[in-house]
């Protein structure tokens, strides 16, 4: 399953239709990064670049030149090189960029300094995400300055720089049918991995052993990389929001929080489940868990076209604050506690984020001063949590060190929503049932 060539072409066409007349858009690829001597980090293409090209090689630059007679879609990329390809793998080369990736024109990246200024010349506006890559920013300025230096010979340098992110990221926020299929699949694979971890979990295992179960399931299903570093935190490690050491031994009586999602064809999933290491929730763990689950459900109920971005968050804050008051972890009137944000001692993050090619995906959360209104095709996570710090002396000892988060991925549909990651059990009863069955 891949995004089709036609879809990449459609995206470029849509973007070009939104550019002001006589402009050029410039989008660089990601670069390879050294991890340690002679070893690079696994290469991951820049999401904006991939969204518009489907081209996964480093050292590439995309130009969109609406109206250009000799072709509007230009790619610079690495030349073919039998010796380099023998060592490091296949390259499409400019020929492949045209034949297989639909470029109208393609050139070796080594010729960009000679060719690009000529393509800039006469274009009034440059769309470019300034400020993201220092080195590339300097190159863009260098190319513009080459034309500026030739004004006395009649050259026309661009007069305006415009932010490309705004247009492009708004497009990425609305998922197409093919993107939704891909994200559902990433969600299903990730859900299976969480089930596998629940089934494998036993007191005395190390956190990294559960991480290994998760990774095995991802890779086996064609998702070799995670969308972010997996979080496997048992006991008080569950209270560290982005704990990724995953080194400790998991103890009988503790909860373990797993936040892990795979990346499939550049699309992310993002799921969190929290469950008892020994398969059975204690009274206190269950009480906090059920508040978080109620909060998540209340938030999901608010997801539909016409409601705004902050409604799910507001819903989680209400349920969590009331729940903490009922259990005696917060004292006072629910409304007043919400007003002074007392819940933030236990619930210090937002209810979720946009999800897509990036786990914390692009797209504005506000339009002007107003929260964004939800529309069909947007995808977000809903991930409330309660984390009782082990050092919180304001609450009874029995609550301390318990961390719970529950996270699912939710698509806004025409008349409501679709939670496409709920193949992993999340009620106390269903989790205990699954774990009892696998222990037997
Ligand atoms: N795993 C990162 C997040 O849930 O936002
Ligand atoms: Mn997550
Ligand atoms: Mn998330």
Question: What tens digit of pLDDT does each residue of 330-352 get?
Answer: 999 999 999 999 999 999 999 99
Which pLDDT does position 1 carry in this prediction?
83
In whole angstroms, give the CA distance from residue 318 to residue 295. Answer: 8
In whole angstroms, give the CA distance from residue 403 to residue 390. Answer: 10
* Cα 374–Cα 375–Cα 379 angle in degrees, nearest 5: 80
Lowest mean pLDDT among 93-102, 151-160, 339-348: 151-160
Evaluate: CB of 350 within 6 angstroms of ligand 1.
no
| 342-346 contact pairs (CB < 8 A, 24+) | 343/317, 345/389, 345/392, 345/394, 346/320, 346/386, 346/387, 346/388
Residues 287, 312 share a domain: yes
| Residue 347: burial class (beta carbons within 10 Å; 0-12, 13-18, 19+) | buried
383 is catalytic: yes
Which pLDDT does position 157 carry in this prediction?
87
Of 150, 171, 192, the position where a domain reaches its end is 171
Binning pLDDT at 50, 70 and 90, where does residue 64 land?
A: very high
Residues 121, 232 share a domain: no
Residue range(s) defining the domain that contains residue 48 = 5-171
Which atom of ligand 1 is nearest to 360's Cα?
5
387 is catalytic: yes
Among candidate residues 59, 211, 263, 270, the one labeled active-site is 270
Of 171, 187, 203, the position where a domain reaches its end is 171
Which pLDDT does position 155 carry in this prediction?
87
Evaluate: CB of 383 within 6 angstroms of ligand 1.
yes
Residues 248, 115 share a domain: no
Q: What percentage of the chain has pLDDT greater than the value 90?
A: 95
Which pLDDT does position 123 carry in this prediction?
95
Residue nearest to atom 5 of ligand 1 (CA): 360
Q: Ligand 1 center to residue 406 CA distance, Å? A: 11
pLDDT digits (tens, 9 = 90+) for 44-53: 999 999 999 9
Residues 393, 256 share a domain: yes
Evaluate: CB of 358 within 6 angstroms of ligand 1.
no
Residues 372, 412 share a domain: yes
Of 149, 171, 193, the position where a domain reaches its end is 171
Which pLDDT does position 440 carry in this prediction?
79
Residues 217, 134 share a domain: no
Residues 157, 21 share a domain: yes
Residues 190, 148 share a domain: no
Specify the CATH number for the domain of residue 148: 3.40.350.10
Q: Ligand 3 center to residue 41 CA distance, Å? A: 23
What tokens appear for 256 in the block?
A: 């373990």
Among candidate residues 172, 289, 405, 408, the one labeled active-site is 405
Question: For residue 27, what is the DSSP state?
Answer: E
Binning pLDDT at 50, 70 and 90, where does residue 88 land?
A: confident
Q: Ligand 3 center to residue 83 CA distance, Å? A: 42
In whole angstroms, give the CA distance from residue 364 to residue 362. Answer: 7
Mean pLDDT of 4-16: 98
pLDDT digits (tens, 9 = 90+) for 201-227: 999 999 999 999 999 999 999 999 999
Q: How many structural domains does the chain have?
A: 2
Is residue 401 predicted with pLDDT exceeding 90? Answer: yes
Please say whether the beta carbons of 384 and 292 come within 8 A.
Answer: yes
Question: Which is nearest to 226 in space by CA: 195, 196, 254, 267?
Answer: 267
Residues 228, 348 share a domain: yes
Residues 317, 186 share a domain: yes
108-123 burial string, b = 16+ CB within 10 Å, else e?
Answer: ebeebeebbbebbbeb
Residues 233, 131 share a domain: no
Residues 192, 87 share a domain: no
Question: Which is nearest to 382 in space by CA: 318, 292, 263?
Answer: 292
Evaluate: CB of 228 within 6 angstroms of ligand 1.
yes
Looking at every residue in the chain, the average pLDDT score rounds to 97
Binning pLDDT at 50, 70 and 90, where does residue 191 land?
A: very high
Binning pLDDT at 50, 70 and 90, where does residue 259 land?
A: very high
Which pLDDT does position 280 carry in this prediction?
98
Q: Ligand 3 center to residue 79 CA distance, Å? A: 39
């Amino acid at each position: 399953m891949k995004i089709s060539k036609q879809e990449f072409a459609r995206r470029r066409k849509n973007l070009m239709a939104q550019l002001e007349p006589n402009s050029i858009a410039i989008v660089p690829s990601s670069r390879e990064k050294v991890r340690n001597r002679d070893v690079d980090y696994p290469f991951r293409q820049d999401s904006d670049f991939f969204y518009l090209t489907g081209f996964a090689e480093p050292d590439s630059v995309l130009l969109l030149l609406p109206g250009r007679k000799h072709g509007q879609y230009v790619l610079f990329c690495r030349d073919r090189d039998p010796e380099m390809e023998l060592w490091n793998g296949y390259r499409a080369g400019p020929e492949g960029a045209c034949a297989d990736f639909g470029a109208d024109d393609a050139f070796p990246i080594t010729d960009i300094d000679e060719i690009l200024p000529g393509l800039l010349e006469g274009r009034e506006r440059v769309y470019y995400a300034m400020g993201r890559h220092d080195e590339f920013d300097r190159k863009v300025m260098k190319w513009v300055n080459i034309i500026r230096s030739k004004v006395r010979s009649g050259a026309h340098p661009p007069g305006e720089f415009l932010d490309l992110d705004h247009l492009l990221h708004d497009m990425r926020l609305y998922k197409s049918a093919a993107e939704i299929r891909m994200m559902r699949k990433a969600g299903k694979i990730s859900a299976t991995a969480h089930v596998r971890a629940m089934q494998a979990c036993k007191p005395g295992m190390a956190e990294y052993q559960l991480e290994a179960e998760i990774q095995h399931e991802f890779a086996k299903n064609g998702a070799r990389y995670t969308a972010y570093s997996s979080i496997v935190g048992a006991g008080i490690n569950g209270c560290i929001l982005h704990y990724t050491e995953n080194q400790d031994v998991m103890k009988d009586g503790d909860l373990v929080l797993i936040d892990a999602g795979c990346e499939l064809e550049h699309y992310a999933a993002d799921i969190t489940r929290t469950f008892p290491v020994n398969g059975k929730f204690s009274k206190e763990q269950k009480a906090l868990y059920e508040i978080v689950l109620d909060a998540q459900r209340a938030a999901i109920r608010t997801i539909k076209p016409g409601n705004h971005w902050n409604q799910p968050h507001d819903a989680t804050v209400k349920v969590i604050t009331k729940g903490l008051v009922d259990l005696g972890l917060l004292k006072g009137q629910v409304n007043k506690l919400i007003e002074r944000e007392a819940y933030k001692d236990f619930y210090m993050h937002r209810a979720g984020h946009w999800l897509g090619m990036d786990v914390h995906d692009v797209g504005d959360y506000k339009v002007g001063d107003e929260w964004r209104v939800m529309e069909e095709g947007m995808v977000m996570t809903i991930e409330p949590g309660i984390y009782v710090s082990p050092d919180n002396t304001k609450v009874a000892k029995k609550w301390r060190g318990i961390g719970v988060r529950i996270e699912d991925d939710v698509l806004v549909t025409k008349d409501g929503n679709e939670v496409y990651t709920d193949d992993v059990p999340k009620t106390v009863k269903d989790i205990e049932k699954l774990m009892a069955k696998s222990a037997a």
